[in-house]
Every structure is written in structure tokens, then in C-alpha cells.
């Protein structure tokens, strides 16, 4: 194996723990090199952890080294780990645990001073020690062990609290101190306190196996149990939370504390998850989480605002087919997704199993969203799911959805009710039972003068029409079969009860619905004269008596009375028929969709990437720079977020000048009250670099704030111009893993928009382009990346902005 680069913090304790790991590696004959990395928590030892970042504060810098390939393993105090590790990283090694207890340290011979002043910055320790020392005063104390002991010796505190394992691992002189090791029942330690965690990249299988060999099996098991409990409590270092697991053979005893409330359970090691779940329910006071049934509608943009809000805040999404990409792309990266796909002929899971999944996830304390196409209570088995939840006393809510029985006919210009034509409509399942029979009241349906809407009945179209005619429905009753609504290949097929099955024979129509009744002869997308029927209230009565026949004169070029493959949509322009998928980060997608609104085409937002800010390499001040250069809107958002998080006053950067790659970036800068001092004549990194180099003076120094992976054109041009600059990655773009499913999705829009090379890569990770789809690139670098995945023709914006993309698409539509 190659020499391993070990990343560690530089404190004495961190190095002592790293030395323990190095000793284990030596036994495996592994060569290594230590790399000291400083974290934000090391730089700021004055403020409480909750004020400067809290969860994961001490490990993110080390994780960055792993992710960027600068180190092979990282050594952490396991208690510092958040429950979400960096992308692609795992804890591979957990050596034998040290003493998990906390120690109360006082000066030797100190009397019982009242009130006692205890130095600690831990909410957990404060919560525990308040019970032991009710009259004590607690003051914030941070820093390494040496610093804490020094402050105790200086008389700033009566006592301090330190982890026992830290004292044991350091070669310090404790002669002047009294050390009281607090019993686990007195003060439940932090999760995994006393453990060392060794992190690595998951893909480095050889290293993962090595770290497993140097692990202590019992400690690694305790690590997993305590970490599971920690994740179920959904807590971080800003909350008073503790946990400790003791293993004796096949038995485990787990102690936990949450917000001052304690709980202890014993059970089998193999059943530790259920034991932890019971403890969480007792500690948090919640019997279970909550399940929300959300109807996602039956097309792009048809989910309600309340439904989207529920999706955005869910811990778990249980979903099936017939969902718009727009909805799936809104699911946050952290949200657990469970696919239970249900479509005609393709049932992923039986309903009983879906019910069990909802109950299990809710009982684990999760906020669960059951996401369905259309509306949950219109043949969506939502009622069955609610009854199952009620039996388990699980809180639930239903958010209605736009149902296809109304929305799909509307899409094709059919009103399910219309004055003088149909006073009612009936929704019927066209789905067969296990014995192959459609169990409905055919006699009453045949007599019904209103509109009949059959869902899930496409494959039984001939049988449905035959049964209605058998029970007396006139053979010439209008019928419309509406297929794949809100998709690019949506189609409407019109006929009569007697011939519609022949019209649709051999066609792929699923998903689709069937509309039967006089309104099926209408198409309000056409310029049509319905004056001979509207307001004639006697129409329904005469229809029932079969004395009159509904008819309409259509002024369009399409013969609306012809029982053929008719798509009568002359009320919509050619542009409105087009579908445009917009890919990229949520920010880019929103901006681009706004720019496209004027086209009135159908827009499909697809968030293929997520943005994570990177502040570890940001300078502590900007005094050494005269210019800051932005090459994206994300960079501007990250920069001002950094200023806010670091509490840097805006007035301290007033002497700086700013360069932006284009007008869109300049617009975002102006939101913060700053106008760009320089924008290139052409919105590319190469031109920005060349023209900026000509514009700058010899004494200028630039700070380039860019994505982690960026084009080298800008820096190369600045180098050619002899400009001094530093390049700092301020954000990272990640593929939205939530788009992953059962293989690649084929996107069949007329146009697919790409706003960056990374966006191209993200799209083709999970998606492909159908024949006839035209890719649209914002600029040359994006186009260059597209050519690596696609060898067909594509469009590129003339001006590399959202507006430029809209213009090139409009011109292409007009050709």
C-alpha cells in the first residue's frame, strides 16, 4: 500500500490521538505522513460553539482535505462528528475506546467555594451538572486542555469539566489538581466520547479494509449504536444531548439524555435500533412522527404551494409514478426517498407493505410525506393509508391535489360540466379486479345523462364501451380518449362508443383517461360555435328521451366530427405547444424560468445540482486585495453569506473594486448595493481575464472567488497579463442524487437548457435526451462539455445570459 497522508488537527490532544492511530498502522507495516490542518473552531476559541458554527465545526476542514484528495485518512475525536458526514466519506476505523466519563477538575485543597463557578461551553454538561450543583454558576470555557487548566490555575473558575479520555491521553502534570471522574449515571457523556474515529473515502476500499483491521470490534459496535441514537434524536452540539452504550456479550445497556431528560434501556445487541427508537420516543415526548398525504397534481406546476412546502420539509418521501420531474427535483438532498412505484400492470409493492412503510417511518419520529400523482383520495388508496395510520395513533394530514379527472379534460378543452350540456360528472375506475371483471353498476352508468370519466381504464376501453352500449347507452355517444396529458406526446382521440376502441387500437395510450358524454364532443381550444346548445336547458331532458342530438359547428380546419386521430388545439400557439426543460442549480433554474415566462411555453424545472458553500480557504481579511472577481451568481451569494457568517462589516470592503463575468452577475451584485466596476465585452472567462488584465494596474491584486471546479481560462489570461491574483474555491456544485431512480430518465422536451459544464455532467448522470430534443447552451464552455456527451446539433445563446437563452430559443421556434 502507498504511503498514507493522515490529516489531523494540531492540538496536543489531536496529535496524541493521531499517535495512537499511527501505532496501529505500524503494526500493519503501513508507511504514513502526518498533515496538520487548522479548523475554524481552532481559530476562534473565544465564542461558544453554537455561535461559530456548531455541528461539525472541528471536522469539516479535515473532510475537505479528504474530498480534495490532499489526505487519505483523517483522525477525529468521535464526539465531534455530526451525523451527516461529507459526501463520499465513511468512518472506517474506531480503535479501542478510552474512558468515556467526564471529569470535574478543581485546584488541590480548594474549599467548597459558593457559589461555585464552573467553566464549560457544553450545553450537555451544564444541563447535567445543574442537577449535581444547583447553586453553581456556569461560564463559557473553550480551548485545549492546557488552556483550560491554565485558566483554572489563574483562578478564573472554581472548577472546569474535561473528558477523562483527554486527560489520560496527555502527558501532563496533574499534581496541583483534584480530579473527580463523574459516574455515567451522574453525567451521561457526549455521544462516542472517548472514541477516536478514522475517516476515509468510501471508494478507497483497500484503506477501508485496513481501517477495519485496526478497529476494536466492541468499540466499533458501541460507536454504531450511539451514532444511531444520535441521528434518531436529530440533535447537534448546540443541544444538551448525551448517550452511552455498554455491551456485555449479546446484551446492550444504553443510557441517554435529551434536554435534561434521562432514559436507560437494556436489550439484545441485534435489536439495538428498536431499543434506541423506543428511547427517542420517550425522551422527545413524541409517540411518533407525522404522515402527510400530498396530492402532487397530474402535471407540471399543478402541485399546491402547501404541497410543495410539505415536500421541502419532509424527512422521508414515499412516492410512486405519475410524478412530474419538477416535484422530484424539489426534494432536498438530505431527504430519504422510498420508491413504491404503482402504475397499471407494474406494481412495485402491495398496498399493505406501503402502509407498513408509512407506519414504520412515522414511528421512528420522521416527518413523512406520502406523495402521489393527482389527488390521494381519488383512486389513490389514500383512505386505506389513513385508516392504517389511525389504527397506530399516528398523526396525519391530507393536502389535496389537482385530480386528473378534471385537469386532464381541461387540458384538452373538455369541461366535465357545461351549462345546457352536462349538469354532473361521475368518476369511475376502469381497473379490473383479480378475476378480470370491472365491478361497477353498468345499468345506472348507462342511464346517467352526465359526464362519465374513467380512470385507469385504457386497456379495458373496448369492454367499457361494450358494457355501456349493452345496457342502453346510445352508440353515437361522444367519447374522448386523452393520453399522456402535460407531456410532449400528449394526444386526444375522439370517436363514439361504437368505434372509439377501433380508433385507439394498437396505440400506446397509458397513462390516459376516458371521457364519455356530450361534453366529449367539445373542444374549447378551438374557435367553435356552440350557440345552438348553450343555455338550452331542455337539452338534457331531450337527450334522455333520445329526441335530440348534440352537435357543434367547429370553425377550425380540423373536422371535429371525424372519428379519427384528432388533436384540435388551434387555440394554442406553436410556442405554447413547446416544452422546455431547464436544468442546473435551483437558483439558475428559477432565474431562467423567469426569463422564459414571456414565451408562454410549458416550462419543466429540473434541479440537477446543489450548491454547497466552502469557506475554509477564505482569507481572514481582504486588505491585501484591490479587486474581487466573480464568475457566477453562486459566487456572489456565497461571498455575502461568508461575510454574514464571519461577522465582517460591509464597510471594511468599501475600498475594493469588483469585476463580474456578465450582466446577470452584475445584477446580483447590485442587490447588495454594489455596482460592478468592470464587466467584459463578451461574457466568457477567457475574455474576462484578457480584458481585465488590460484594465488593471501593476500594483493591483485580485481575489478570484469561483466554483471548486472551474475553467482555467480566466487564470491563464491573468497570468499572461502579469496580474497578481489568488484563486479561492468558495462553493462546490454537487449532483442532485435525488434524481436517481431505476435507470436513466429520458427527457423528451423540445428544448433542454444547460447553464454550465457541471450542469451538463449532472444531467447526463441520470438523464438522456430523446430524439428531436434540442439542447441549448448558455456559452462556449458549456457547449464544449456538451459535445463530450452529445454529438447532435444544439443551440448556443448569442449573449451568455438567461435573456440570451430565451432569445435563441424564440428564434429557433420561429424558423
Catalytic residues: 320, 342, 456
Report angle CA 600, 603, 607 to the nearest 5 degrees. 150
The DSSP element (H or E) to which 177 belongs, if any, is: strand 177-181
How many beta carbons lie within 10 A of that of residue 311, not counting itself? 23
Residue-wise burial string across 81-101, b where 16 or more C-beta atoms lie within 10 A, e elsewhere:
bbbebbeebbbbbbbbbbbbb
From residue 99, give the alpha-carbon distance in Å to each of 162, 186, 190, 330. 12, 15, 12, 45
Q: Per-residue DSSP letters for 233-245?
A: HT--TTS-EEEEE
What would the grid cell of residue 798 be?
448569442
Contact 92, 202 (CB under 8 A): no
Measured CA to CA, the distance from residue 440 to residue 452 in angstroms comes to 12
What would the grid cell of residue 719 be?
497570468
From residue 314, give the alpha-carbon distance in Å to each of 206, 292, 328. 36, 9, 13
361 in helix, strand or coil?
A: helix
Measured CA to CA, the distance from residue 149 to residue 139 in angstroms comes to 15
Measured CA to CA, the distance from residue 544 to residue 419 in angstroms comes to 16
Sequence-separated (6 or more) residues with CB below 8 Å from residue 36: 8, 9, 10, 15
Contact 107, 153 (CB under 8 A): yes
The rounded Cα 459 to chain-centroid distance in angstroms is 36
568 in helix, strand or coil?
A: coil
What would the grid cell of residue 528 be?
367553435
Beta bridge partners of 252: 247, 267
Measured CA to CA, the distance from residue 340 to residue 355 in angstroms comes to 11
Amino acid at each position: 500500500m502507498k504511503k498514507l497522508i493522515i490529516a489531523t488537527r494540531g492540538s496536543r490532544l489531536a496529535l496524541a490521538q493521531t499517535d495512537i492511530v499511527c501505532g496501529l498502522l505500524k503494526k500493519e507495516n503501513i508507511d504514513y505522513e502526518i498533515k496538520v490542518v487548522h479548523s475554524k473552531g481552532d481559530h476562534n476559541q473565544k465564542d461558544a460553539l453554537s455561535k461559530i458554527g456548531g455541528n461539525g465545526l472541528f471536522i469539516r476542514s479535515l473532510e475537505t482535505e479528504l474530498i480534495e484528495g490532499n489526505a487519505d485518512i483523517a483522525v477525529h475525536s468521535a464526539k465531534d462528528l455530526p451525523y451527516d458526514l461529507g459526501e463520499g466519506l465513511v468512518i472506517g476505523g474506531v480503535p479501542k475506546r478510552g474512558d468515556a466519563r467526564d471529569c470535574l477538575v478543581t485546584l488541590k485543597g480548594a474549599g467548597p467555594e459558593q457559589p461555585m463557578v464552573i467553566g464549560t461551553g457544553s450545553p450537555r454538561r451544564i444541563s447535567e451538572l445543574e442537577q449535581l450543583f444547583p447553586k453553581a454558576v456556569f461560564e463559557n470555557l473553550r480551548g485545549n486542555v492546557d488552556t483550560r487548566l491554565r485558566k483554572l490555575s489563574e483562578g478564573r473558575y472554581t472548577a472546569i469539566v474535561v473528558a477523562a479520555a483527554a486527560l489520560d491521553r496527555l502527558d501532563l502534570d496533574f499534581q496541583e489538581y483534584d480530579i473527580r471522574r463523574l459516574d455515567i449515571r451522574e453525567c451521561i457523556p457526549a455521544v462516542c466520547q472517548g472514541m477516536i474515529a478514522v475517516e476515509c473515502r468510501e471508494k478507497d476500499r483497500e484503506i477501508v479494509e485496513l481501517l477495519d483491521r485496526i478497529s476494536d470490534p466492541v468499540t466499533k459496535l458501541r460507536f454504531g449504536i450511539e451514532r444511531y441514537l444520535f441521528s434518531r434524536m436529530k440533535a447537534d452540539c448546540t443541544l444538551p444531548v448525551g448517550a452511552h452504550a455498554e455491551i456485555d456479550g449479546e446484551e446492550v445497556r444504553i443510557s441517554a439524555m435529551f434536554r435534561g431528560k434521562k432514559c436507560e434501556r437494556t436489550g439484545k445487541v441485534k435489536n439495538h435500533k428498536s431499543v434506541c427508537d423506543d428511547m427517542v420516543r420517550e425522551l422527545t415526548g413524541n409517540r411518533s412522527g407525522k404522515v402527510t398525504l400530498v396530492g402532487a397534481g397530474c402535471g407540471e406546476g399543478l402541485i399546491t404551494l402547501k404541497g410543495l412546502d410539505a415536500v421541502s420539509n419532509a424527512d422521508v418521501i414515499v412516492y410512486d409514478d405519475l410524478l412530474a420531474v419538477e416535484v422530484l427535483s424539489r426534494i432536498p438532498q438530505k431527504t430519504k426517498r422510498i420508491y413504491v412505484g404503482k402504475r397499471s400492470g407494474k406494481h412495485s409493492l402491495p398496498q399493505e407493505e406501503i402502509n407498513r412503510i408509512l407506519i414504520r417511518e412515522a414511528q421512528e419520529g420522521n416527518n413523512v410525506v406520502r406523495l402521489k400523482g393527482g389527488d390521494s383520495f381519488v383512486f389513490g388508496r389514500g383512505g386505506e393509508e389513513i385508516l392504517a395510520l389511525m389504527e397506530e395513533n399516528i398523526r396525519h394530514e391530507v393536502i389535496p391535489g389537482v385530480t386528473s379527472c378534471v385537469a386532464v379534460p381541461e387540458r384538452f378543452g373538455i369541461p366535465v360540466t357545461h351549462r345546457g350540456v352536462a349538469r354532473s360528472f361521475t368518476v369511475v375506475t376502469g381497473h379490473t379486479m383479480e378475476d378480470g371483471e370491472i365491478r361497477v353498476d353498468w345499468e345506472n352508468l348507462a342511464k346517467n345523462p352526465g359526464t362519465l370519466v374513467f380512470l385507469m381504464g385504457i386497456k379495458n376501453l373496448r369492454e367499457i364501451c361494450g358494457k355501456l352500449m349493452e345496457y342502453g347507452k346510445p352508440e353515437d355517444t361522444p367519447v374522448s380518449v386523452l393520453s399522456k396529458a402535460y407531456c410532449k406526446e400528449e394526444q386526444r382521440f375522439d370517436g363514439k362508443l361504437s368505434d372509439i376502441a377501433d380508433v385507439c387500437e394498437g396505440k400506446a395510450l397509458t397513462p390516459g383517461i376516458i371521457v364519455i358524454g356530450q361534453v366529449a364532443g367539445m373542444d374549447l381550444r378551438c374557435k367553435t360555435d356552440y350557440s345552438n346548445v348553450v343555455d338550452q336547458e331542455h337539452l338534457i331532458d331531450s337527450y334522455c328521451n333520445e329526441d335530440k342530438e348534440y352537435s357543434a359547428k367547429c370553425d377550425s380546419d380540423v373536422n371535429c366530427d371525424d372519428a379519427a386521430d384528432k388533436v384540435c388545439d388551434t387555440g394554442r400557439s406553436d410556442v405554447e405547444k413547446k416544452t422546455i426543460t431547464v436544468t442546473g442549480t435551483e437558483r439558475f433554474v428559477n432565474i431562467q424560468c423567469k426569463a422564459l415566462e414571456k414565451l408562454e411555453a410549458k416550462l419543466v424545472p429540473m434541479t440537477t445540482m446543489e450548491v454547497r458553500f466552502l469557506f475554509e480557504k477564505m482569507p481572514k481579511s481582504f486588505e491585501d486585495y484591490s479587486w474581487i472577481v466573480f464568475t457566477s451568481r453562486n459566487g456572489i451569494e456565497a461571498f455575502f453569506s461568508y461575510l454574514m457568517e464571519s461577522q465582517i462589516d460591509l464597510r471594511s470592503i468599501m475600498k475594493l473594486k469588483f469585476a463580474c463575468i456578465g450582466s446577470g452577475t452584475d445584477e446580483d451584485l447590485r442587490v447588495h448595493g454594489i455596482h460592478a466596476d468592470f464587466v467584459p465585452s463578451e461574457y466568457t472567462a477567457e475574455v474576462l481575464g484578457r480584458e481585465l488584465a488590460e484594465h488593471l494596474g501593476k500594483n493591483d491584486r485580485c481575489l478570484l472567488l469561483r466554483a471548486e471546479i472551474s475553467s482555467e481560462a480566466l487564470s491563464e489570461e491573468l497570468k499572461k497579463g502579469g496580474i497578481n491574483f489568488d484563486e479561492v474555491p468558495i462553493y462546490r456544485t454537487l449532483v442532485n442524487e435525488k434524481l436517481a431512480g431505476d435507470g436513466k430518465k429520458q427527457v423528451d422536451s423540445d428544448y433542454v437548457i444547460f447553464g454550465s459544464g457541471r450542469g451538463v455532467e449532472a444531467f447526463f448522470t441520470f438523464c438522456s435526451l430523446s430524439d428531436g430534443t434540442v439542447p441549448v447552451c448558455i456559452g462556449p464552455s458549456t457547449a464544449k462539455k456538451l459535445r463530450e456527451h452529445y454529438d447532435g446539433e444544439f443551440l448556443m445563446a448569442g449573449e451568455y445570459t438567461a435573456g440570451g437563452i430565451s432569445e435563441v430559443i424564440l428564434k429557433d421556434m420561429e424558423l
